Amino acid sequence: MLTEQQVKDAIKGLKDPFLNKTLDELNAIQEIKIKPEKNHVSVKVAIAKTGTGEQLKLQTAVVDSLKKAGAATVGIRFSELPEEELQRHRSSMPQESQGLLSPGAKTTFIAIASGKGGVGKSTVSVNLAVSLARLGKKVGLIDADIYGFSVPDMMGITKRPVVRGEKIIPVERKGVKVVSMGFFVEDNSPIIWRGPMLGKMLNSFFTEVEWGELDYLLLDLPPGTGDVALDVHSMLPSCKEIIVTTPHPTAAFVAARAGAMAIKTEHEVIGVIENMSYFESQVTGEKEYVFGKGGGEKLADELNTEVLGQLPLQQPDWNDEDFAPSIYAEDHPTGKIFTNISERIVTILG
């Protein structure tokens, strides 16, 4: 059975990723609890900045160190260092770069939003990103749906980002640079974080990722009008927005809330995309309007914008050699619709 001193000895040499000081030097190990019957160790650690990719890497290092020391299971909580401790070491902290959020950045932000889940918002996001890249644009994609991240799986991404110096290098797939919360969790684990920590993680996606020059950065927002969507609206005052809905009147009614929030926060809604508009029989060629008609047009009228495109119910053709289960090929009928939508977006944004 581990003692408190052994626990402390196992992790005290690990360094705060921002101050480059050991946990021992920072008096950062604030609490140690041991359950002998289960050989479970839990610790509370204070660091300079919580809710970042660096925190997740430190978390992994703490867990690995304690398991090597003999713990069967490990629990860890993070808090921020007291201000007086930070002041003592402030000179060690690197100057924080605003990255894409800096006033001189020329990237256009495009948020893809929906009022509810299940309308295909992430499918639209990944295909718009790929279609814009096919048009020769420099494109990034943030999977901002931090609780329900799905972009890596949809794009067939199996790699993880690497760290170069102080920056995270995004994974590039099909011409699109991608960052997702899914890269920073193990075994599809659930994210159990409060709103403020989610906001900090999202901010790190803007400021701590080496995006390079981008024409467009797309954000796949979580559905609805919760904490993360609000954070995006406050961080990106000049963001453009596209609302995804289905033709069903109720879906369009709920999507109007997301559009209303965009307008209230002075984001420009540049259009509506209606997904699952119809099913086209491969046998007869007839269109069946499974979810009704008119939801996209009604929503666009309400938000004083236009319908950018209507997408059918149809899955992509899968390619085992270049597997990306949600990406439509450029010559696929739905892929051509995405190309038309992307060309329209480029025209609207000038």
159 and 259 co-located in one domain: yes
Residues 118 and 273: their CA atoms lie apart, in Å, by 14
Enclosing domain of residue 49: 4-92
Per-residue pLDDT for 134 more than 60?
yes
Predicted local confidence at residue 248, as pLDDT: 85
Predicted local confidence at residue 250, as pLDDT: 76
Contact partners, residue 77, CB within 8 Å, separation at least 6:
31, 42, 43, 44, 45
To which residue do tokens 């430190």 refer?
A: 58
| Domain total in the chain | 2
230 and 303 co-located in one domain: yes
Integer Rg of the chain from CA:
23
User: Which of 128, 172, 131 has the alpha carbon at shortest distance from 152?
Assistant: 172
Amino acid in position 330 = E
Residues 272 and 8: their CA atoms lie apart, in Å, by 55
CATH number of the domain at 233, please: 3.40.50.300
Report the pLDDT averaged over residues 312-334.
88
Per-residue pLDDT for 225 more than 60?
no
DSSP 67: H
Predicted local confidence at residue 170, as pLDDT: 92
From 63, 92, 121, the end of a domain falls on 92
To which residue do tokens 């009008």 refer?
A: 225
From 74, 92, 110, the end of a domain falls on 92
Predicted local confidence at residue 102, as pLDDT: 65
Predicted local confidence at residue 80, as pLDDT: 87
Predicted local confidence at residue 251, as pLDDT: 72
Predicted local confidence at residue 188, as pLDDT: 55
Name the 3-class secondary structure at 278. Answer: coil
**In degrees, to the nearest 5, what angle opens at C-alpha 26 toward C-alphas 21 and 32?**
120
Residues 90 and 95: their CA atoms lie apart, in Å, by 10
What is the token pair recorded at 67? Answer: 């398991």
CATH number of the domain at 16, please: 3.30.300.130
149 and 292 co-located in one domain: yes
113 and 59 co-located in one domain: no
Residues 93 and 87: their CA atoms lie apart, in Å, by 10
Per-residue pLDDT for 166 more than 90?
no
User: Which of 199, 274, 282 has the alpha carbon at shortest distance from 234?
Assistant: 199
Decide if 144 contacts 218 (C-beta within 8 A): no
Predicted local confidence at residue 167, as pLDDT: 83
What is the token pair recorded at 112? Answer: 């893809």
pLDDT in tens, 237-271: 678 999 999 898 777 777 777 777 776 666 789 99
User: Which of 190, 255, 211 has the alpha carbon at shortest distance from 229?
Assistant: 255
From 92, 117, 148, the end of a domain falls on 92
The pLDDT > 90 percentage for the chain reads 35
Report the pLDDT averaged over residues 149-157.
90
Decide if 82 contacts 222 (C-beta within 8 A): no
174 and 276 co-located in one domain: yes
Q: Given its phi and psi angles, is residue 67 left (phi above 0), alpha (psi -120 to 50 degrees) or beta?
A: alpha
Decide if 327 contacts 317 (C-beta within 8 A): no
Task: Choose from 28-42, 127-141, 176-190 the range with maximum mean pLDDT.
Answer: 127-141
Maximum C-alpha span of the chain: 75
pLDDT in tens, 265-292: 667 899 999 999 999 888 888 889 988 8
* Confidence grade of residue 125 (pLDDT, cut at 50, 70, 90): very high
Predicted local confidence at residue 95, as pLDDT: 47
Per-residue pLDDT for 52 more than 90?
no
Per the prediction, the chain carries an average pLDDT of 84
184 and 248 co-located in one domain: yes
DSSP 106: -
pLDDT in tens, 89-108: 755 555 445 567 665 678 89
130 and 82 co-located in one domain: no
Report the pLDDT averaged over residues 191-217.
75
50 and 129 co-located in one domain: no
pLDDT in tens, 11-25: 999 998 888 889 998
